[in-house]
Amino acid sequence: MSKSRTEGVIGLAASAFDILKRHSIPPYPQFFELIFDYEAGRNPELKSAMEAVFKADSGLAANDVRSLLDGHIQPKELASSSLPERMRDKMDAMQDAVDAAMTSASSFSGSLDNARENLERGISVPEMKALTIRLLDETRHTQAANRALEEKIASSREDLVQLQRDLALVRREAMLDPLTRIANRKCFEETLGNFINEARGSVAPLALLMIDIDHFKRFNDQFGHQTGDQVLRLVATTLKSTIRDSDLAARYGGEEFVVVLPETELDGAMFLAEKIRRSVYDKKLLRKSTNEIIGRVTASIGVGIYRAGETADQFVDRVDGYLYEAKRHGRNCVVGNSTFPKAARET
C-alpha cells in the first residue's frame, strides 16, 4: 500500500473513532466498521441512512448503529462471505485432480487389456518391444497423475482444516447476541428443541426461565441508550455467572432473557430464579462518566417445567404466562407454574 493511501486510511479511521467518541458509542469492531464505511463513502445507501439519523433530534445512539449494521453491513458480509467460495475452489481443485487420476487409470487399464489380448494371440519381437515401451509410458503417466493427486491432497489438507475452523467460528458468532455476548434467540430455539427431544425419551425434567427487566424503557428514556445497553450486559453477565455449564442463557429479544435448565426440577429452578433475581437487584447501576449511582435493576421471572407432549412454542408460551403473572403481581418477583410469587420487592 502506498504512503498516501496509508495516510488516507489512517485519516478515515481517526474520523470514525471521533464520531463514535462524540456520540458516546463504544468502539466495538462492528460499530467501527460501519462508521468507517460511512466515512469512506463506499456505500451510498448507508451514507443516506446515516445522514438521516444525524439530522434527527435524538442524534446517533448505539441502537441506531445496530439497526444500520443489520441493514447495510452484516447482510452484505454474509452474502459475499469468502468461505463458500474458498471451499468451492478447494473442492473444485480436488475434483480436477481426482478426475485426472481416474482418467489416467482408466486409460492405463485399457492399455493393459489391449496388451493382454495381443500377448494371447501372439506377437513378434518388434511388436513386443513397442508394446513394452507403450506400457512404460502409460505407467509413468499414471504415476505422475497419482503423485499430483497426492500432492493436491497434502497441500489442501491444512486449508480444509482451516476452513473447518472458520466455519465453526462463523457458526459460533451466528449464535451469539452481539451486545451481550451470550446466546441469541436462534441458538436458544435450536437448543431448546434438542433438549425437548431428549426429554421426550427420558424421565429427566427440563426447566425454563423467562426473565424480563422491569421498566427497561425508563433506563433508555431517562439515562440514554448507552445506559440501557449497560443494563442488558449486567443481566447477561449475572446469568452467565449463575448457571451451570450444562445450562443455556440467551437473550430472547429486547429486554427479555431465557435460561434452559436440563435435568432440573421445579424447586431447583425456582431456587435458581430467585438467586438470579437477587443477584440482579444487588448490583448497583453506575453512570460510567461520573460513577454516580443511578439506581438498581429489577427483573420479573417466570419458571416452568416441560410437560410431555408440549411443543417448544407451547412450552415457551406457558412459561411466558408465568412471567406475565410476575409482572401483574408487582414485578421483581418469581412465579412458577401456579404458585404465588416468591420474593418480594426490597425497600
Q: Which residues are catalytic?
A: 255
Q: Strand, coil or helix: what is 182?
A: coil
Distance of CA 17 to the CA centre of its chain: 26
Q: How far is CA 166 from CA 76, 86, 291, in A?
A: 18, 11, 40
Reported as type and span, the H/E element at residue 174 is helix 125-174
Cβ within 8 Å of residue 146, ≥6 positions away: 101, 104
DSSP annotation string for 259-325: EEEET--HHHHHHHHHHHHHHHHHSEEEETTTTEEEEE--EEEEEEE--TT--HHHHHHHHHHHHHH
Nearest CA-CA partner of 275 in 241, 234, 228, 319: 241
Write down how long the chain is.
347
Q: Strand, helix or coil at 42? A: coil
Burial of 249-277, coded b for 16+ CB within 10 Å and e otherwise, reads bbbbeebbbbbbbbbbeeeebbebbbebb
- Cα 269 to Cα 213: distance, rounded to the nearest angstrom: 18
